[in-house]
A and B are shown apart, each in its own frame.
Chain A
Amino acid sequence: MQRRDFLKVAAITGTAGALDSCGNPEHQLIRFIPEEDLVPGVAEYKPSICTMCPAGCGLMVKVMEGDAEVVRNGQLGLIKMALAKKLEGNPNHPINQGKLCPRGQAGLQVTYHPDRIRHPLKRTGPRGSGQFQEISWDEAIRTLVEQLNALQAAKQSMSFLSRPLKGQHRELAERFLELFGARAGAPIYFDLMDSAALRFANAYSFGAGQLPTYDLANSNYVISFGADFLGTWNSPVAQSVGFGVMRQGRAGRRGKFVQVESRMSLTGASADEWLPAKPGTEGALALGLAHVIMRDKLGRPQHASRAGELISRWGDGLPDFSPPKVEQITGVSAAKIERLAREMASHLPAVVVVGGAPLAATNAVFTALAANALNALLGSIEQPGGVYFTLRLPSWPDTWADIPGGFGSVALLDQLVYPLLQGKWDAAKILLLNDANPVFAMPPNLHVREALEKIPFIASFGSFIDDTSVLADLILPDHSPLESWVDDIPESGSIQGVVSVTPPALRPLHNTRAMPDVLLQLAPQIVGEFADMYRHRLPWASFDAMLAAQYSDLYSMKGSLKAANSEEFWKALRKQGVWSTSEGIPGREKGLATAPISKNPPRARPNFWWRTAQSMWPEDYEAMMAPRVKEFHGPEFDGAEKDFPFHFLPYASQMLFDGSLAHLPWMQETPDPISTAMWGTWVEINPKTATSLGIVQGDLLEVASQHGKIQAPALIYPGIAPDTVAMPVGQGHEHFTRYASGRGANPISILAPVTVPETGSLAWAATRVKITKAGKGKLVLFAGGLREHPLEEGQR
């Protein structure tokens, strides 16, 4: 026995013995021997990756020694361990350059959340009751293996439903599903506000179904159609860094920023010119601008290659989009259109951004294609101050980028839900659920909950019980990201290609296991013909071994890390947490815009699932897409205007994001930047509309669509169109920890099940509603410390 082991045993048995003789043993905790060497009071900074949104910002975790209550071998005790005290941006990371957004700052609370699942659970009460019982990891793994092998033997179907996975997490999940062959179906990556329409349009326009990167720092003129790019959309920190430079980082050269949207977003609030257009007409406005630029021979059109192809169909000068005609469609005056077009064209480089609500209308693909082509007309594709696409190696696991535009949220989910509701033979018998919450984030009319209830066995990896994972039969809780190996290949936010890989910054606080390690542990135990065929693709014993193997090819490429050999490279990568290309990557040196045009879809990776996906490309893709570049089809809305007079605009909340961060008290209590509201939901309404309806701030409103109704207090909002009401997404969870359960209302729950036809995404901005007063509501405002605290009745 070594000295260290002896001390451990002595500490446990000795203290336990001593405690037995004390008066109150429950007040005295055993002290375990520390598992790591730490200097008290000295902070260490360890790299990690933010997973609060898909942008992939780099973190530096401030780690200090402290006392934590932990359970070891069934015994509660105290241990000195490394604790995360603060998150900072990683200054060497090309995406966020040392900066973090408010959501990233709150990432600490995921690890230390009191309602985190601390050990494996099995369901004891009826499904959905939230009654679970602690079990051991051995039992949990055994149960799951038995279920999966019984499924293989009976040749039944299963499904994997997850939040969008990145990097090798994605690769691993997909290789794991290969063990079940066609019975598993493609992995379902669920994301409410999925930008699939933009990826779809970009696949056509640029040959990359990828979110764009904007070089705002070098731009002189930015026009954004609905994109909340400084708040919640795409890569907000990277975009905010660039925005700061565009505004005041260049001596004597301050860029102009124009935002087009019907409700002023956080981003719109920073605009030099804010321009409300009718919802769903943003694409027509873009073509109106293009009309003027071509008529007056302005801009610097890129005629070569793929970018030129985008505008070649505009040879007739877009006669349908003269400013007076566009004024009728959009409500933006012809004079403004003329002025804006001239301003843009005379202040090159200019860049066009599109995102948010315009991409959640039924004509989203037209709008995105119009914006892409306008960028080509301005000569801004892969030019300084314009729009770029982050470099990627063909072998990298991509987020959507290989699929033509990706599949939208509803279409993906329907692969799971439809067979279940119809009672088809191939309906899933087992569901593996990983941190996706479609029961909350899909309209009830899509019957996600009813479908999931029909699945005989659901296993969940998520760290929290939410509206969806409450239906699970077995819970195998994941580590928190700070406790895990994390890797990421950001889809956007940097012109150069970026790979982030970071080891755990902390030891696990609870009896949890990393989801990738659980999958690797399961793989050798799965039986069946597909398992035997594909098991060799998962040769690793642990996820870090997989990461080391999968990223070893980076060593030979020109990049930000210099190392003598691949072992040295791996060491340096773990220490820095990030690697980026320095000279482009093979096959992509020339960029996309100037690459030769291919009529064929982008080549899929040699992966079982993406081959299936590729077969879903329409045969005559070009013929299908070509007319969409110049024909305006108006947006369609659910609900007749006379019965439902208001457009309904749910939007991603700056703090709660799409609802996935509602469980963090820091996010609940940080005032919304514009409304200053905390701990709740509200309905934003134009002041004149409110006056005409006799509504004052704080009145409880009932918001009703054809599909349901919810109640929330009114908030008078000067920056919203008179015929529009808006609500933040995020609250209204039935189950999501003590801080979010039963709080506020969920605007998604009254949305119509309308989709963007090309992608099958939920068109979440395509519902009309009516509003009625329903009494007095409760609105908690911070109101910036001014003397406007809403004191409760009787207090003033």
Chain B
Amino acid sequence: MARKWGMVVDLDRCTGCEACVVACRAENNVPTAGEDQASRGRAIHWIRVERYWEGEFPDARLKFRPVLCQQCDAAPCEPTCPTYASHHTSEGLNAQIYNRCIGTRYCANACPYTVRFFNFYNPVWDKPFHLQLNPDVSVREVGVMEKCTFCVQRIQAAEIQAEADERDLKDGEFNPACVQTCPPRAMVFGDLNDPGSEVARLARSNRATKLLGELGTKPNVTYFDPESWEEGKS
């Protein structure tokens, strides 16, 4: 059976530290917009940590939720694209083919998770910052949409290596940059079609919820809501 990549994010572990955000920026050559462009809402973050305030002082509470592309099975972004730049891969990813993209931005309008970003200008790296660019990830130019890929370059590299070694991929053998760095291990990544994988086991848990699942987008990212402490349970 073909692989189907998925992720579980345990919000009871997530501390909102944003290590995932910076790791993603480093791995995927996400440019910095600068203060002026950022103030126009043009900063690009393939993954972000949303925060929600609840209640009033002294009972104020805060909840964090890392939001990245949910890699939906019924992705609203895909059918809207006139050039098939936004398409579904055989391994369940919502891929973006940059050289097909003509920048209609229909996909960004269609996405309920607002995880697609438009390049309003050609990215600039003040030299020698360009030396840190990851050669395995293409740099996006003005006029195209970009988004989280589940670090498809890492997926490809691991699959090619496993094939060369004539073996199966091991669960947890590689991870996207966000999952790899997460200090409290709030994120788990793997093949949902492998019933023995950790991510498949967790996705079957009764704690599993989907973000805006009621929209019928069938996301492949699963969230575990924060739990509350119960006296006597520890």
Interface set of A (CB-CB < 8 Å, partner B): 41, 64, 66, 68-69, 83-89, 96, 98-106, 108-109, 111-114, 220-221, 230-231, 236-237, 240-241, 243-245, 247-249, 252-256, 264, 266-270, 272-276, 343, 347, 509, 654-655, 665-671, 673-674, 676, 678-680, 686-688, 718-722, 738, 743, 778, 780, 782, 784-786, 789-792, 795
Q: Does B227 contact A (CB under 8 A)?
A: yes
Q: Does B89 contact A (CB under 8 A)?
A: no
Residue of B nearest to A720 (CB): B57
Min CB distance A388 to B, Å, is 19
Partner of B40, one of A274, A784, A791: A791
Digit string of B218-231 for contact with A (CB within 8 Å is 1, else 0)? 00000010011101
Digit string of B33-51 for contact with A (CB within 8 Å is 1, else 0)? 1110011110101001111
Partner of A669, one of B38, B60, B114, B231: B38
Let me know if B43 and A99 touch, CB within 8 A: no
Digit string of B112-144 for contact with A (CB within 8 Å is 1, else 0)? 011100000000001111011111000000000
Given A105-B22, A673-B49, A719-B53, A782 and B43 contact (CB-CB distance below 8 Å):
yes
Let me know if A86 and B184 touch, CB within 8 A: no
In the complex, A545→B89 CA distance in Å? Answer: 54
Residue of B nearest to A241 (CB): B183
In the complex, A690→B196 CA distance in Å? Answer: 54
Let me know if A244 and B185 touch, CB within 8 A: yes
Given A678-B35, A784-B67, A267 and B183 contact (CB-CB distance below 8 Å):
no
Let me know if A266 and B16 touch, CB within 8 A: yes
Partner of A785, one of B12, B48, B182: B48
In the complex, A594→B34 CA distance in Å? Answer: 55
Partner of A244, one of B13, B38, B41, B60: B13
Let me know if B19 and A100 touch, CB within 8 A: yes
Let me know if A240 and B184 touch, CB within 8 A: yes
Q: Please give, as numbers and ranges, the residues of chain A lying within 8 Å of B49 by CB-CB distance.
A: 671, 673, 784
Can you pick out 13 interface pairs between chain A and chain B where the beta carbons lie within 8 Å of each other?
Answer: A66-B135, A221-B234, A243-B184, A244-B183, A244-B185, A266-B17, A269-B63, A270-B14, A274-B61, A671-B45, A721-B58, A784-B51, A785-B114
In the complex, A668→B35 CA distance in Å? Answer: 9
Let me know if A264 and B60 touch, CB within 8 A: yes
Q: Please give, as numbers and ranges, the residues of chain B lying within 8 Å of A106 by CB-CB distance.
A: 22, 26
Let me know if B13 and A247 touch, CB within 8 A: yes
Q: Please give, as numbers and ranges, the residues of chain B lying within 8 Å of A109 by CB-CB distance.
A: 129, 132
Interface set of B (CB-CB < 8 Å, partner A): 10, 12-19, 21-23, 25-27, 32-35, 38-41, 43, 45, 48-51, 53, 55-58, 60-64, 67, 113-115, 126-129, 131-135, 177, 180-186, 224, 227-229, 231, 233-234
Q: Please give, as numbers and ranges, the residues of chain B lying within 8 Å of A255 by CB-CB distance.
A: 229, 234
Let me know if B23 and A100 touch, CB within 8 A: yes
Let me know if B184 and A785 touch, CB within 8 A: no
New A-B contacts (10) at CB < 8 Å, excluding given A66-B131, A96-B183, A102-B23: A66-B135, A85-B135, A99-B183, A102-B21, A113-B129, A114-B129, A253-B233, A667-B22, A674-B51, A780-B35
Residue of B nearest to A111 (CB): B132
In the complex, A83→B181 CA distance in Å? Answer: 21
Let me know if A784 and B48 touch, CB within 8 A: yes
Let me know if A789 and B40 touch, CB within 8 A: yes
Q: Please give, as numbers and ranges, the residues of chain B lying within 8 Å of A249 by CB-CB distance.
A: 185
Q: Which 9 A-B pairs have the closest CB atoms?
A: A244-B184, A240-B183, A789-B41, A269-B62, A785-B114, A784-B50, A679-B35, A105-B22, A256-B229
Let me know if A99 and B181 touch, CB within 8 A: yes
Min CB distance A53 to B, Å, is 13
In the complex, A667→B32 CA distance in Å? Answer: 10
Residue of B nearest to A238 (CB): B183
In the complex, A69→B127 CA distance in Å? Answer: 9
Let me know if A254 and B183 touch, CB within 8 A: no
Q: Please give, as numbers and ranges, the residues of chain B lying within 8 Å of A69 by CB-CB distance.
A: 127-128
In the complex, A667→B63 CA distance in Å? Answer: 22
Let me know if A88 and B62 touch, CB within 8 A: no
Residue of B nearest to A719 (CB): B60
Min CB distance A779 to B, Å, is 9
Partner of A270, one of B15, B38, B60: B15
Residue of B nearest to A87 (CB): B26
Q: Please give, as numbers and ranges, the residues of chain B lying within 8 Å of A101 by CB-CB distance.
A: 17, 19, 183
Partner of B181, one of A100, A655, A669: A100
Let me know if B38 and A718 touch, CB within 8 A: no
Residue of B nearest to A99 (CB): B183
Given A256-B229, A266-B16, A719 and B183 contact (CB-CB distance below 8 Å):
no
Given A87-B26, A782-B43, A722 and B57 contact (CB-CB distance below 8 Å):
yes
Min CB distance B175 to A, Å, is 10
Given A109-B132, A112-B132, A718-B57, A673 and B16 contact (CB-CB distance below 8 Å):
yes
Let me know if A676 and B51 touch, CB within 8 A: yes
Let me know if A792 and B40 touch, CB within 8 A: yes
Q: Please give, as numbers and ranges, the residues of chain B lying within 8 Å of A673 by CB-CB distance.
A: 16-18, 49, 51, 64
In the complex, A343→B232 CA distance in Å? Answer: 9
Let me know if B134 and A86 touch, CB within 8 A: yes
Q: Please give, as numbers and ranges, the residues of chain B lying within 8 Å of A256 by CB-CB distance.
A: 229, 234
In the complex, A719→B63 CA distance in Å? Answer: 12
In the complex, A255→B234 CA distance in Å? Answer: 6
Q: Please give, as numbers and ranges, the residues of chain A lying within 8 Å of B128 by CB-CB distance.
A: 68-69, 112, 114, 509
Partner of B43, one of A254, A273, A678, A687: A678
Given A101-B183, A670-B21, A718 and B53 contact (CB-CB distance below 8 Å):
yes
Min CB distance A347 to B, Å, is 5
In the complex, A231→B10 CA distance in Å? Answer: 18
Q: Please give, as numbers and ranges, the residues of chain A lying within 8 Å of B61 by CB-CB distance.
A: 274
In the complex, A240→B134 CA distance in Å? Answer: 28
Let me know if B183 and A264 touch, CB within 8 A: no
Let me know if A254 and B229 touch, CB within 8 A: yes
